[in-house]
Amino acid sequence: MGTPEFPDLGKHCSVDVCRQIDFLPFTCDRCNQVFCLQHRSYISHQCLNASQKDVTVLICPLCAMGVRLVLDEDPNITWDLHVNTDCDPSNYQRATKKRRCPVPGCKEILNLSNSIRCSDCTQEHCLKHRFGPDHKCPGPKKLDSGFPFIGLLNRSQKGKLLQSSSSSSSSWWGASLMNAVSNVRASAESGMLKFSDAATQALQKAKHGIAESSNNDELMEHSEHAKRSHLRSSQAAGNRVTIDVCPKCSKGFRDPVALVEHVEKDHGGTSLT
């Protein structure tokens, strides 16, 4: 089997009458044996484990539901269990009802291959009536123009008007809310009045303070002027000097000693009298 270069290449078919060497063999997923292309199926090599993974489903004639048969269990037991537990005859009409095109006069049965859902009216139609004009499509729902929340606000207001007659709690909440708002508004107005009064008083006090300060400055200026005048008069009185006059030559002298020396020197010691 194989070649000198690849001795493990290829395997023989497990069927005794075949035993053909196959370089691309098939392995059965039930019995895990190797087969050639001709004997790869379950039936061709008569696989003993072929029914282990088979799934058999029976359609119930009463409810049109599928009943799966359990391996190595009597089908009659499985059937009795379904009839006593899961069977619902009312589901038969829903399951067996055939979908038809909703266009009047059209009897086309709809299935996965010949039905199209309209994107505007979201209904399924046959291929013949798939376009909007063919099935008289009303078109998409019109949105509210203008502000996007106007329609929602209007609807909410209408709902409130309808519910106001039947529900008294909502009116009580509304009255409470209005009372709270009025109280807050009154407190705010009183606060503003108090603030304006305080501001007016502060401005008046400031004005009186400015006037008093100006009067005090004037008084201080007058007192300073009087002090300076008195000082000047006192200085003038203190600086007044007595002048002695020579009886001979009528020359004045501030110092009497200088007058005596003048008389003795210039007038030869003559007496002043």
Domains and CATH numbers, the chain: 9-51 (4.10.1110.10), 53-97 (no CATH), 98-136 (no CATH)
- Please give the Cα distance from 100 to 126 (Å, whole number): 8
Cβ atoms within 10 Å of 36's Cβ, excluding its own: 21
Which pLDDT value is given to residue 228?
64
Helix (H) / strand (E) containing 9:
none
| DSSP H/E element including 239 | none
Cα–Cα distance for residue pair 148/152, rounded to 1 Å: 8
Confidence of residue 173 (pLDDT cuts 50, 70, 90): low
pLDDT for the residue numbered 227: 56
CB 108 within 8 A of CB 114: yes
Q: What number of other Cβ atoms are within 10 A of residue 162's Cβ?
A: 10
Average pLDDT over residues 27-44: 91
The pLDDT tens digits of the residues spanning 184-196 come to 777 777 777 777 7
Q: 22 pairs with which residues across the strands?
A: 11
Is residue 29 scored above 80 in pLDDT? yes
User: Mean of the per-residue pLDDT values for the chain?
Assistant: 75
Q: Is the confidence at residue 90, as pLDDT, over 90?
A: no
pLDDT at position 233: 54
What confidence score (pLDDT) does residue 212 get?
A: 56
Q: What is the pLDDT confidence band of residue 36, given thresholds at 50, 70 and 90?
A: very high
Residues 200, 193: Cα–Cα separation, whole Å: 11
CB 61 within 8 A of CB 96: no
For the four alpha carbons of 142, 148, 152 and 153, in that order, the dihedral sign comes to negative
The per-residue pLDDT for 39 is 92
User: Tell me, what's the pLDDT at 242?
Assistant: 63
Does the pTM exceed 0.85? no
Residue type, 268: G
What is residue 222's predicted lDDT score, i.e. its pLDDT?
57
Query: Residue 202: pLDDT band by 50, 70, 90 thresholds?
Result: confident
How many other C-beta atoms lie within 10 A of the C-beta of residue 135?
A: 20
Tens of pLDDT, residues 237-264: 444 556 666 776 767 776 777 767 777 7
Please check whether residue 1 is in contact with residue 21, taking contact to mean a CB–CB distance below 8 angstroms: yes
Give the per-residue pLDDT at 187: 74
